[in-house]
């Protein structure tokens, strides 16, 4: 059974206010590309590294890329496909995704199938690193927002 992770997050109204102010001053696209996307990339690094460590590795495979070698991190402004996801909200400005090869073999590793038991690596990576992601994200955003505020004074 999956463990439920909970965290108390504070300061989002203040964060939203400063991000809106930055967006109005610098333009929203620049705020996303200079602040939010780098923050997400930094914060999600522990998930990326953990997923690569947890991914099954087939030493006998000499022909196709190993699953762990296909794991990647992307931080971007949500596209139309992202916005259809159940994990996306209409007001999302930026998202971070750690993903792997999406062929039958990659999906079977994470979720299993009739012949293969699941060997999850993506979900455990995110679950085990969630508090670290939040901590890194908070520290990075605090630094960037203080930097922005000091330039306005």
pLDDT, one tens digit per residue, over 38-91 is: 999 999 999 999 999 998 877 777 766 788 888 999 999 888 998 888 888 888
CA proximity to 133, closest of 76, 87, 95: 95
Burial 80-101 (b: 16+ CB within 10 A, else e): eeeeeeeeeeeeeebbbbbebb
Please name the helix (run of DSSP H) or strand (run of DSSP E) that holds residue 93, with its range, or none: none
Is pLDDT of 6 > 50?
yes
Q: How far apart are CA 118 and CA 116, in angstroms?
A: 6
Is pLDDT of 28 > 60?
yes
User: Looking at the DSSP assignment, which residues form a beta bridge with residue 75?
Assistant: 96
Q: How many percent of the chain have pLDDT more than 90? A: 31
* Average of per-residue pLDDT values in the chain: 82
Contact by Cβ (8 Å): 40, 130:
no
């Amino acid at each position: 059974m999956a463990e439920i992770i909970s965290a108390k997050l504070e300061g989002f109204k203040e964060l939203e206010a400063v991000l809106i102010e930055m967006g109005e001053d610098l333009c929203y696209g620049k705020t996303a590309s200079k602040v939010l996307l780098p923050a997400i990339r930094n914060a999600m690094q522990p998930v990326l590294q953990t997923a690569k460590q947890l991914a099954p590795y087939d030493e006998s495979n000499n022909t196709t890329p190993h699953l762990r070698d296909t794991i990647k991190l992307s931080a971007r402004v949500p596209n139309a496909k992202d916005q259809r996801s159940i994990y996306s909200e209409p007001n999302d400005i930026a998202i971070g995704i750690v993903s792997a090869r999406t062929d039958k073999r990659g999906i079977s590793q994470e979720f299993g199938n009739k012949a293969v038991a699941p060997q999850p690596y993506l979900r455990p990576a995110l679950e085990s690193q969630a508090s670290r992601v939040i901590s890194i994200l908070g520290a990075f955003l605090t630094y960037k927002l203080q930097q922005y505020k000091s330039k306005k004074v």
